[in-house]
A and B are shown apart, each in its own frame.
Chain A
Amino acid sequence: MKTENALRIGVDVGGTNTDAVVIDDAGAVLSKVKVATTPAPIDGIRAALDAVLPDVDTSRITKAMLGTTHPANAIIQRRELDKVGVLRLAAPSSFGVRSGAAWPDDIRNLVLGAAAIIEGGNEYTGQEIAPLDDEAVKRFAGDAIEAGCNAIAVSAAFSPASNDHELRAFELLRAELGPEIAVSLSHQVGSLGLLERENATILNAALLSVATSVVEGFEAALSAHDLEVDAFLTQNDGTLMTAAHAGRFPVLTLGSGPTNSMRGACALAGVNDAVVIDIGGTSADAGILVDGFPRESSAAVEVGGVRTNFRMPDLISIGLGGGTVVRDARAGNGDSLVVGPDSVGYAVATEARCMGGSTLTLSDISLAAGRLRTFGDARLVEDLDESLVIDSLAWVDEQVMIMTERMKSSRDEVPLLAVGGGAHLVSDDIAGVSAVLRPENFAIANAYGACIAEASGTVDRVYSYDTDGRDDCIADARDLAVNAAVRAGADPEEIRITAVTEIPMTYVPGGGCRVMVKAAGPLA
């Protein structure tokens, strides 16, 4: 049952700021706040809640959503990570590439404890590669304890299609190790691609302590305000998982930052399909929202140097920001105007010419051209050569156009959302763009994106079209995705299929096809 006039809180913990918003059923922002992120993120979350709640009727709040980069930063900065025992069920296959291959040495030494490849796993047909070696699982449990592991990652060949061996290994490990040692199973974490899925599972296991402290901290902060609400965390694709689930699958939150930002910005602008360009002091990031969700990258995603196969937002980033340095050497050798790639970054507030500094930046150019109006002193850039301004902006316009073109998935014109402190650099007139939108409140886009997140379910498996028929296979995958979304908390009445991807398998007889379906809907 939905509560009438129910409110929800969204909190986003970023690298610099922790934002919080309270919105109503209609999506209107009732209260918003931005505080500094603290070394222990929980302090920032508490401060944000303290500041955002006073003017709100807290009894109407039913749900709280948290987006956090804390687990991602733990990997990137190699801190607070658990030691993981890595068990692969695939022998006699896969010895050619051992677990942790191609990891940077520092994180491998930090995270990988015991590792073993033992008999088990399945073929593409579903048959066993070998029966699971129960004794080897038990031996591994002992080795892992001896190596000081406090979490275990189990990955079996073709487990996204056949998970029996991983589940059985889980039972055996639980019996040997008790509930104190958490076990992550790869079929619950990643999709096809054993090495990348194994990497993701290891990272997941390594993040369990961090995740527990984040989730417990969030719940404690909510309790401190007597909020008895359903708590959720946002995941990579912009959908929600319950806080309890997030405590077990922290790796699924790693890409949630840009996703929340893009979804939040689009929702604030009232569009479902748009290219989003976020321009800060140093760089411009572009992504695209299709039917309300970021398009996902098909390329492997590295997190802290470790290759994974998460479905992360497809983003491109270039060195273009408000603090980007402009060098005019045309007087010297005739034709050399150099924009970037270096930037004065946050120091733009003191270094830029228009702020009395000595460095010519894109903010100065933008001010001189009248694009930037709310920053700096225009008199300080009056003397800039007109052709320098025109040429610099032509470069900016071309870069923005190229980023937009690279993001678009068809030739149709799409709206372009310009957000971030450097959004003024974006011209109102860009080829291939129907309109440039600059949503208000974009400063709290991440927290807003967390607030409006939905529940989802996905399926990724291999079907045989020749045996079962394409239509039946797709229908089966859709049913499985919808059921998964319902289990995740989506309202069965409002679930929709948001993506169907078919990847035919070359050289596989029987019309083998990998089918990926995602279903999503608002929380019930």
Chain B
Amino acid sequence: MVRRVAADTSIRVMTVPRATLDSRVRPAHAQTTALLRSEADMNELTVDDIEAITLGATLLGTGGGGDPYIAKLVAHQALEEYGPVPVINAADLDPDDLVLTTAIIGAPTVILEKIPAGTEFVGSVKALSSYLGREPAAIMAIEIGGLNTLLPIATAAEMGLPIVNCDGMRRAFPQIEMTVFTLAGISAGPLSIADEKGNQCVFETTTNQIAESLARSAVIQLGLANSISCYPMTAGTLVDNAIHGSLTYCANIGKLLQAAQTGEDGAWDHFLSETGSREFFTGKVVDLDRRTTDGFAKSTVILEDLHGSDSTMRVEVQNENLIAFLDGEAVITTPNLICLLDHETLEPLTTESVAYGNRAVVIGMPCAPEWHRDGMLELVGPAAFGYEIDYVELDA
């Protein structure tokens, strides 16, 4: 894994070999940037960290990932009630320690009415722990991006366990199998689903795609606002395969963006350079086409140049922003992140909130380097979402 920094510009360039066959030889900290090096900065998570993490999570939601508002309130209440949560790195644990994940699974519209109880998350962890015959040493998020960033913090607080500073996506994706763990051949199963009433089930699965469809069919029966605990792993497996530092990354980009939002001098450039992001377009939303097929909220957003040139940008959306075309040419593609931010406030615009007339900055943000390995394109590249478009490397 190589990370090259273009020292003479504000653009940070990342070049990554496509095939990193033996992930075990990759030291977990090799690719740290200034931002990722701050893994050690956060020893514990308190209520004071929630706003920045929520903003970072909204950005990493890349237009989707579910509105983190309710999750923010859940995390806030849990931290107030149970106290701060220790933040640890996977390498701090005994390699044989068990780490369990939690996430909400269901439908965003239902979650607005069926507010989490908290017990469903603890329930899914306990169900899986009981099935495995082992207690977890820590909790982690599977998806740092959108509302699933914040809910595991509440679970960790309630269970009195530390949270591991890593995840499997470092952005939002719509399906369980879309993780770097799948690329590493790690099974999503056995996995557990739990509701707030005490109903629980554990699935053994043969592929991570089946894990997704079994989980989805269970939650339809359980009210579409449930907890899932999947990808049970030892700390040793995490050290080799997870995206490390995701939680601090999320908190830090949230802080950097907060600084930019308050108009702090140079803060926006700092945000861009720290994340290796690049502004691709500044425009006005002139067309918006929303439709829903197969449970996906698909839409197309077209922006015209704010400065009056004929240039246009088109963003294709399926729950998350997936492809950005500049004058017909794909310039940002999944799994790299496409983020629309309000031109005036720098508030991230979500798929639901974007509207005609919005003036937006479109940035491309590199996905976590851990994504760059065999199978990435088949799992989360443009083709995985039905686009006949080549993946585009994000560089200067």
Question: Chain B interface (Cβ within 8 Å of chain A)?
Answer: 69-70, 73-74, 76-78, 106-110, 112-119, 154, 196-198, 216, 220, 223-225, 284, 286, 291-292, 295-297, 319, 352-353, 355-359
Which residues of A in the span 407-444 have a Cβ within 8 Å of any Cβ on B? 407-411
Q: Is A303 an interface residue (CB 8 A)?
A: no
Cβ contact within 8 Å between B117 and A96: yes
Q: Which residue of chain A has its CB nearest to the CB of B110?
A: A124
Cβ contact within 8 Å between B70 and A408: no
A-B contact pairs, 29 of them (CB 8 A): A93-B116, A93-B117, A94-B116, A95-B117, A96-B73, A96-B154, A97-B116, A101-B73, A101-B77, A123-B114, A124-B107, A124-B223, A129-B197, A130-B197, A157-B113, A193-B113, A299-B353, A406-B358, A409-B355, A505-B107, A505-B110, A506-B292, A506-B297, A508-B109, A509-B295, A512-B107, A512-B109, A513-B292, A514-B109
Most chain A beta carbons < 10 A, residue from B69, B114, B198: B114
Instruction: Choose one: A157, A299, A503, A509; the contact of B114 (CB below 8 Å).
Output: A157
Enumerate the 6 nearest inter-chain pairs by beta-carbon distance, A residue then B residue, closest first: A504-B292, A94-B115, A96-B74, A96-B116, A507-B107, A96-B118
Cβ contact within 8 Å between A158 and B113: yes
Cβ contact within 8 Å between B196 and A407: no
Q: Is A102 an interface residue (CB 8 A)?
A: yes
For residue B352, which residues in chain A have a CB less than 8 angstroms away from its CB? Answer: 298
Instruction: Decide: A93 near B224, CB < 8 A? Known: A98-B77, A405-B284.
Output: no
Most chain B beta carbons < 10 A, residue from A97, A194, A402: A97
Most chain B beta carbons < 10 A, residue from A95, A405, A506, A512: A506
Instruction: Decide: A124 near B113, CB < 8 A? Known: A101-B76, A506-B319, A507-B224.
Output: yes
Cβ contact within 8 Å between B357 and A409: yes
Q: Is A92 an interface residue (CB 8 A)?
A: yes
Instruction: Decide: A406 near B295, CB < 8 A? Known: A123-B114, A505-B110.
Output: no
9 extra interface residue pairs, beta carbon distance < 8 Å, beyond A93-B225, A194-B113, A194-B115 = A93-B196, A95-B118, A102-B76, A124-B107, A194-B114, A299-B353, A506-B292, A508-B110, A514-B109
Q: State how many angstroms separate the Cβ of B11 from the closest Cβ of chain A.
A: 28
Instruction: Decide: A509 near B74, CB < 8 A? Known: A92-B197, A93-B196.
Output: no
Which secondary structure dominates where chain A touches chain B? loop
For residue B107, which residues in chain A have a CB less than 8 angstroms away from its CB? Answer: 124, 505-508, 512
For residue B296, which residues in chain A have a CB less than 8 angstroms away from its CB? Answer: 506
Instruction: Decide: A96 near B78, CB < 8 A? Known: A124-B223, A124-B224, A298-B355.
Output: yes
Alpha-carbon distance A410/B288, docked complex (angstroms): 10
For residue B297, which residues in chain A have a CB less than 8 angstroms away from its CB? Answer: 504, 506
Cβ contact within 8 Å between A408 and B357: yes
Alpha-carbon distance A195/B352, docked complex (angstroms): 19
Instruction: Decide: A124 near B119, CB < 8 A? Known: A506-B108, A507-B224.
Output: no
Q: Which residue of chain B has its CB nearest to the CB of A130?
A: B197
Cβ contact within 8 Å between B357 and A405: yes
Q: Which residue of chain B has its CB nearest to the CB of A462?
A: B109
Alpha-carbon distance A192/B77, docked complex (angstroms): 22
Q: Is A205 an interface residue (CB 8 A)?
A: no
Q: Is A326 an interface residue (CB 8 A)?
A: no
Instruction: Choose one: A101, A192, A298, A504; the contact of B112 (CB below 8 Å).
Output: A192
Question: Chain A interface (Cβ within 8 Å of chain B)?
Answer: 90-98, 101-102, 123-125, 129-130, 157-158, 192-195, 298-300, 402, 405-411, 462, 503-509, 512-514
For residue B291, which residues in chain A have a CB less than 8 angstroms away from its CB? Answer: 504
Alpha-carbon distance A45/B116, docked complex (angstroms): 47
For residue B77, which residues in chain A have a CB less than 8 angstroms away from its CB? Answer: 96-98, 101
For residue B110, which residues in chain A have a CB less than 8 angstroms away from its CB? Answer: 124, 505, 508
Q: State how many angstroms separate the Cβ of A386 from the closest Cβ of chain B.
A: 26
Alpha-carbon distance A226/B356, docked complex (angstroms): 50
Q: Which residue of chain B has its CB nearest to the CB of A300?
A: B69
Alpha-carbon distance A501/B359, docked complex (angstroms): 24
For residue A96, which residues in chain B have a CB less than 8 angstroms away from its CB? Answer: 73-74, 77-78, 115-118, 154
For residue A514, which residues in chain B have a CB less than 8 angstroms away from its CB? Answer: 109
For residue A406, which residues in chain B have a CB less than 8 angstroms away from its CB? Answer: 357-359
Alpha-carbon distance A515/B296, docked complex (angstroms): 17
Q: Which residue of chain A has its CB nearest to the CB of B121?
A: A96
Cβ contact within 8 Å between A97 and B115: yes
For residue B356, which residues in chain A have a CB less than 8 angstroms away from its CB? Answer: 408-410
Instruction: Choose one: A92, A410, A512; the contact of B117 (CB below 8 Å).
Output: A92
Instruction: Decide: A411 near B292, CB < 8 A? Known: A93-B115, A98-B77.
Output: no
For residue A402, which residues in chain B have a CB less than 8 angstroms away from its CB? Answer: 359
Q: Which residue of chain A has its CB nearest to the CB of B64?
A: A506
For residue A509, which residues in chain B have a CB less than 8 angstroms away from its CB? Answer: 220, 295
For residue A98, which residues in chain B have a CB less than 8 angstroms away from its CB? Answer: 77
For residue B319, which residues in chain A have a CB less than 8 angstroms away from its CB? Answer: 506
Q: State how many angstroms separate the Cβ of A237 from the closest Cβ of chain B.
A: 19
For residue A504, which residues in chain B have a CB less than 8 angstroms away from its CB? Answer: 291-292, 297
Cβ contact within 8 Å between B113 and A97: no
Q: State how many angstroms separate the Cβ of A399 from the closest Cβ of chain B.
A: 11
Cβ contact within 8 Å between B286 and A411: yes
Alpha-carbon distance A411/B196, docked complex (angstroms): 48
Q: State how many angstroms separate the Cβ of A190 from the closest Cβ of chain B.
A: 11
